[in-house]
Structure 1
Amino acid sequence: MIHLFQPFTQRNVTLRNRIVISPMCQYSSVDGFSSDWHLVHLGSRAVGGAGLVLLEAAAVTPVGRITPDDLGIWQDEHVPGLRRITDFIRTQGGASGIQLAHAGRKASHANTWKGGQTLTPAEGGWTTVGPSAIAFSDDYPTPQALDKAGIEQVVEDFRQGARRAVEAGFEVIELHAAHGYLLHEFMSPLSNERTDAYGGSFENRVRLLLEVVAATRAEMPDDRPLWVRISATDWTEGGWTGDDSVRLARLLQDAGVDLLDCSTAANVPKADIPVGPGYQVQFAEQVRRETGLPTGAVGLITDAQQAEEIVASGQADVVLLGRESLRDPYFPLHAAHELGVDVKWPVQYERAQPKR
């Protein structure tokens, strides 16, 4: 049995296989609106056979954008364009998901092909926020520390983003609590020096994430899964650790989270990261083994046999592909052929299906 192509069911949503398109920023939006680029880019991955297509980080508030070109979900007017995408993905047999995000202290930058620099107000930039007034690096502005009212607004922004995601037809919602963005900033002692109910102890530092989870879950039908992406380690002494991730996973299970998507790093500019094929899979395996919570593995997963081994060995329940899916939008179809699995190709492409 090839495990990679076994269906995966959570609540009332069944993925046709264990291959998930990881959220990848396209920096191709104006005022947060999706465009024809998003429809074609994401639609091609559904045509290519992915079980779940996760849309890129969608900002729940304009100040939560990484760049002015980020996808958004902070106003009802964003919903029809997103609905167009979910409708198409569904016609191709795939499921659709969206990642709700707030960039925190790493917001207000130009996108990578426009230089990546911090934007001044004259360049369209804005004031960034975080748990504490600590800049990400010398090249980043110092954020304003959120007060209680600001924290409550963040929770409400995520709540409204979840409501819109449901209206847009997404079957899975993922909360972005990784890569040094706002929710991760609160979780890590490297970026959170608060002395109130949202800082200090582990329980206080994860409080905002749990409040966002509760608000999001309240807006979702019971039959749709909620995922959370975390950086399972900061790879830095004194920061967030794999054991912290296990501890958090148990709390998230109780809060109604269905899967933990285990990435790592990006909360500090310099970390000793042992980058290599599947280097983050160990954290998905640890969480799954110690808590029973389903996990997703991501990071330099680039070939069919590697992906199959991760799922078959029980290291993770799904694999998330990023750059490899950019190189090959039809990776699932090609992987099925390589692994000797018969899968249905789009009827328009059947004449090109390789024979075994």
Structure 2
Amino acid sequence: MRIHERRSLWRRLRPYFTVFDGPLTVILLMLLTVSMVTLYSASLGIPGKMEDHLRNIVLFFIVMWVVSNVTPQLMMRIAVPAYAAGVFLLVCVALFGIIKLGARRWLHVGIDIQPSEFMKIVTPMMLAWYFQNRSGHLDWKSFGVAALLLAVPVGLVVRQPDLGTALLVIAAGFSVIFLAGLAWKALVALLLAGAAALPIIWSVLHDYQRERVMTLIDPTTDPLGKGFHIIQSTIAVGSGGLTGKGWTHGTQAHLEFIPERTTDFIFAVYSEEFGLVGNLILMVLYLLLIGRGLIIAGNAPNLFTRLLAGAMTMIYFAYAFVNMGMVSGILPVVGVPLPFMSYGGTALVTLGVAGGILMSIQRHRKLVQT
């Protein structure tokens, strides 16, 4: 009888411990392995970085496991209050936030938190909830309301200012609006309107943001100042050649020419040491990650889960695209880390939540009513 009871208990507990999607977990483990190898080299001479990174990876899996056990039905129920709480916290940041390095992005609530990170997940969740409740009744007014729901947090984040996070919130939120059925004509109209608004956007940018754009166009105008980051990172990327200089043998990194080499510019360290071949392997891993996310989105049982899975996948794509473009000198420097590669606990927690949502949708796809 005791054996039978123990087996019954395990049967009840087993679903909570077998929540991870196999293909997605394997891809994430491969990316994190590459991350540990690269960060070990990038952090030589910086004590404590590897230990902290391993701790962050453990935290990543704990967060992903917790979120994987949250049902899509519960996500729908918390979407509106979570969005409202996030906007409220952003308003509090604007009014009472802590200023660090010239930006008001943090709020002290016993510990310092950055509510804008929260909005990367909550904004697309709110939009997915909205379109789920409007399904069958979508018109131009529906998309207008959705655009407003996206514009509110983006505007508050831009005001901090935090252009990198704002771009990620836009990417995740707009992907929901697009996947919900935004017409191509409307998309073209938005692109034309955005192009027409460039002079206005330019006029409201902060001086340092304008300098980043001008530095992108010609970094040699200030090679020892504003252009230093881009010049040194592109030298590192190019000097890696076909197969790289070898692990721990990157000169740009270890002679400390690459700034922020463990965080925003870790891709430059990786490129220098593993070359074009290593870059292709890394890009294949990211493509597999994005592909698996899209498969989960395609198999999702209703509109809410399809849109939410698509948005979480877009977060992975946006992180990788913006960071690689920034380090390679084709996008302005905006402070976006390379997903699963860069050192940093906050970004890994956000990515863990996104991964947990994907795994939850995959796990509960047969339980959600269409």
TM-score (norm 2): 0.30
Higher Cα Rg: structure 1 or 2? 2
Higher relative contact order (CA 8 A, sep 6+): 2
